[in-house]
């Protein structure tokens, strides 16, 4: 299984404090940042988004604190410049949709289910002067959400994969994947995507390092006729996977 190597993307704590001085109150006597504190994580990741990617991101107080670097490396594993792309579940930050447009010059449509997250995503898109087409999904994934005549080069998502909501990490709607391994959402996305991809198009899923989950989704994709590639990459101390299904 290939590992993705992307150098040492990151932002020193001292530089982050220059961007958001209020981060200083979360430093210990050694200058270490208390990443167990949610507000500290939010401020640091906002600083990373601004310093490394030129994005001004606001996080919802109850939403997942998504790290910009892992999302950027994920996009680099499959995205090509100028493509027409669809993100399923852009979340409150709309971070990957914004990166796809700003850093890869893609034409981006993004969906979001949660009403509050939708409004945050819309505000983040406006704040960054982006042209992302944001669509309210109202419970669907692709079918009955995106027009039937639409065709995309890439459909991508960071799908939910927990069977139940987890305390303080994912909201109820973010955290219910369904199925034995939380794979149901991803499998349904792969099934519906077949009718919305261009010839040679692909689906890319941002997934955790959970072998049972990866195997369950890969097998389903292969049954549908996709060829599957799994790219493993490391961000900090954690491994992540870009599971790419080629139509």
Q: Between 33 and 182, where is the model more confident?
A: 33
Q: Is pLDDT of 114 > 70?
A: yes
- How many domains does the chain divide into? 1
In a domain, 14, yes or no: no
Where residue 181 sits, what CATH number does that domain have?
3.40.50.150
DSSP helix/strand/coil, 143: coil
DSSP secondary structure code for residue 33 in this structure? B
Q: How far is CA 87 from the centre of its chain?
A: 8
Own/partner long-range contacts of 41-50 (Cβ < 8 Å, ≥24 apart): 41/65, 43/16, 44/11, 44/13, 44/16, 44/20, 46/19, 46/20, 47/11, 47/15, 47/16, 47/19, 47/20, 47/23, 48/10, 48/11, 48/16, 49/95, 50/19
User: 139 is in which domain, residue-wise?
Assistant: 66-246
The whole-model pTM stands at: 0.91
Please provide the average confidence, as pLDDT, over all residues in the chain: 90
User: Which of 1-10, 23-32, 148-157 comes out lowest in average pLDDT?
Assistant: 1-10
Task: Give me the phi and psi of 163, to 5 degrees please.
Answer: -75, -30
Task: Answer whether residue 51 is part of any domain.
Answer: no
Whether 11 is covered by a domain: the verdict is no
Residue with more model confidence, 45 or 179 = 45
Alpha-carbon span 107 to 97, nearest angstrom: 9
Convert the pLDDT of each residue in 14-26 to its tens digit. 999 999 999 999 9
pLDDT band at 29 (very low <50, low <70, confident <90, very high): confident
| 139 located within any domain | yes
Contact 87/111 with Cβ under 8 angstroms?
yes
Tens-digit pLDDT profile for residues 191-241: 999 999 999 999 999 999 989 999 999 999 999 999 999 999 998 888 999
pLDDT at 41 (0 to 100): 95
Judge whether 119 lies within some domain.
yes
Per residue in 69-101, pLDDT tens? 999 999 999 999 999 999 999 999 999 999 999
pLDDT value at position 81? Answer: 97
Q: Looking at the domain assignment, is residue 54 inside a domain?
A: no
Q: Which pLDDT does position 237 carry in this prediction?
A: 84
Report pLDDT for 72.
Answer: 96
The two tokens of residue 178 are: 């369904």
Write down the pLDDT at residue 83.
98
Does position 5 have pLDDT exceeding 80, yes or no? no
231 occurs within a structural domain? yes
Query: What is the pLDDT at residue 236?
Result: 81
Q: Tell me, what's the pLDDT at 10?
A: 86
pLDDT digits (tens, 9 = 90+) for 153-188: 999 999 976 545 445 445 444 444 566 767 899 999
Dist CA 221 CA 246 (whole Å): 9
What helix, strand, coil percent values describe the chain, rounded to 5? 35, 20, 45
Q: Does 191 reside within a domain?
A: yes
């Amino acid at each position: 299984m290939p590992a993705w190597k992307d150098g040492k993307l990151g932002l020193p704590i001292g530089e982050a404090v220059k961007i958001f001085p209020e981060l200083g109150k979360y430093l210990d006597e050694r200058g270490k940042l208390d990443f167990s504190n949610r507000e500290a994580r939010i401020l640091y990741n906002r600083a990373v988004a601004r310093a490394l990617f030129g994005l001004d991101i606001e996080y919802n107080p109850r939403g997942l604190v998504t790290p910009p670097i892992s999302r950027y490396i994920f996009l680099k594993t499959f995205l090509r410049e100028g493509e027409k792309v669809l993100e399923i579940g852009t979340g409150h930050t709309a971070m990957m949709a914004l990166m796809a447009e700003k850093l890869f010059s893609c034409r981006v449509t993004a969906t979001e289910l949660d009403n509050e997250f939708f409004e945050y995503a819309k505000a983040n898109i406006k704040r960054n002067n982006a042209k992302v087409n944001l669509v309210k999904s109202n419970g669907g994934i692709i079918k009955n959400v995106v027009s039937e005549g639409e065709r995309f080069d890439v459909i991508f998502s960071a799908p939910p994969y927990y069977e139940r909501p987890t305390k303080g990490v994912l909201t109820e709607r973010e955290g219910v994947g369904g199925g034995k391994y939380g794979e149901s959402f991803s499998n349904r996305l792969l099934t519906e995507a077949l009718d919305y991809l261009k010839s040679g198009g692909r689906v890319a899923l941002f997934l955790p390092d959970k072998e049972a989950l990866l195997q369950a989704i890969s097998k389903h994709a292969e049954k549908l006729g996709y060829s599957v590639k799994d790219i493993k990459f490391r961000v900090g101390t954690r491994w992540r996977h870009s599971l790419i299904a080629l139509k």
